[in-house]
Amino acid sequence: MAQEPPSTADPRVGLAKSRTTMAAFRTTLALDRTTLAWIRTTLAMAAFGFGLVTFFRSLRESNPSAETIRLHESAILFGTSLIVLGIAATLLAGASHLRTLRRLRRNEVPVLACWPLSVTVALLLAAATLVGLWSLFAR
């Protein structure tokens, strides 16, 4: 028995191409959502930093004791570190987004980082918190 040659007009080929295109589109949308989540997170960090400094400044102005001055100085240190961390994380999230988008457009597989941005930001936030607590209680 001789086998028939495979049909060149297989209807599944068009369907597979359509599914692949839609999968790439869904992946791009997921990447956009992830980047927007990073932007929301970093804006919240920076806003909290500004709010912290402002709150303790108003406390210092209403009661200018040595304790409130020390609290305000510690709040400036911690608030500034939150603002800087928010800016740095925003820049890193944008760079990661562009790098991954570029790989997707070249039909390459996106690379998972060995050291994810989320872990980096979490460790830096923990370090900033420890420095803030140290500056608050070390005096």
For residue 113, the tally of other CB atoms under 10 A from its CB is: 13
| Residue 5 pLDDT exceeds 70 | no
Please give the share of the chain, as a percent, with pLDDT higher than 70: 87
| pLDDT mean across residues, the chain | 83
pLDDT tens column, 20-69: 777 778 888 898 999 999 999 999 999 999 998 899 888 888 888 888 88
What pTM value is reported for the model?
A: 0.74
Which amino acid is it at 107? N
Q: Domain residue spans in the chain?
A: 23-137
Q: What is the b/e burial string over 7-41, where b = at least 16 CB atoms within 10 angstroms of the residue's CB?
A: eeeeeeeeeeeeeeeeeeeeeeeebeebbeebbeb
